[in-house]
């Protein structure tokens, strides 16, 4: 991998309730979901995954993705960015170290401190904080390098029955959308 992060698109930390279900989206930049606590279901493309605390998954640009709560009150940090060249991450779940998890939490706090945001969308660096904002982006870049170079890929677990049921329900709903 040879890349550099140019800008942030979104960056936020959120605790979800037990009934949370995000229908999904696609966009033209990569996104990462890192679970801080709890357990969430993830759809990445047409594949269903289960994400647990301390794990991160990368969605490449233009990939459909969705998340939902499996256990009550999961907390995640979700961020998206633009890079040169545009990154096409291998789709793997990575187990990150406690040190890297702490690093990501600190980056998220600095994003809140040094960037203006519209809810979770990063708008621009705060006035007179441009230097600090640039430093935060470089920290994120180093974090991404560390995760990708650490190679702590999680073996794909068999999809739990509840996740299989969920994906089946979504496929049936999708097939009836045009009716």
The mean per-residue pLDDT over the stretch 15-43 comes to: 93
pLDDT tens per residue across span 82-110: 999 887 776 678 999 999 999 999 999 99
pLDDT tens per residue across span 54-90: 999 999 999 999 999 998 799 999 999 999 988 777 6
- What does the alpha-carbon distance between residue 3 and residue 29 come to, in Å, rounded to a whole number? 14
**At a CB cut-off of 8 Å and minimum separation 6, what does 39 contact?**
50, 51, 52, 53, 69, 70, 71, 74
Mean pLDDT (the chain) is 87
Enter the pTM of the model.
Answer: 0.85
Q: Assign 26 a pLDDT band (cuts: 50, 70, 90).
A: very high
Pairing mode of beta strands 21-25, 65-69? antiparallel
Of all helices (H) and strands (E), which one includes residue 103?
helix 98-114
Each residue of 20-44: b (16+ CB within 10 Å) or e?
beeeeeeeebbbbbbbbebbbbbbb
Question: How far is the CA of 116 from the CAs of 11, 57, 96, 151, in angstroms?
Answer: 11, 26, 28, 33
């Amino acid at each position: 991998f040879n890349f550099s992060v140019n800008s942030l698109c979104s960056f936020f930390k959120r605790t979800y309730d037990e009934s949370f279900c995000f229908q999904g989206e696609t966009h033209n930049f990569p996104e990462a979901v890192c679970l801080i606590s709890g357990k969430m279901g993830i759809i990445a493309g047409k594949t269903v995954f289960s994400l647990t605390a301390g794990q991160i998954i990368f969605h490449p640009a233009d990939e459909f993705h969705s998340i939902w709560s499996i256990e009550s009150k999961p907390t995640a940090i979700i961020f998206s960015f633009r890079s040169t060249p545009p990154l096409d991450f291998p789709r793997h779940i990575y187990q990150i170290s406690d040190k890297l998890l702490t690093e990501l939490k600190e980056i998220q706090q600095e994003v809140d401190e040094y960037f203006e945001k519209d809810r979770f969308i990063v708008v621009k660096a705060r006035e007179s904080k441009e230097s600090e904002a640039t430093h935060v982006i470089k920290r994120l870049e180093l974090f991404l390098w560390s995760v990708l170079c650490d190679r702590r890929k999680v073996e794909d677990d068999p999809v739990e029955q509840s996740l299989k049921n969920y994906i089946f329900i979504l496929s049936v709903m999708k097939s009836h959308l045009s009716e």
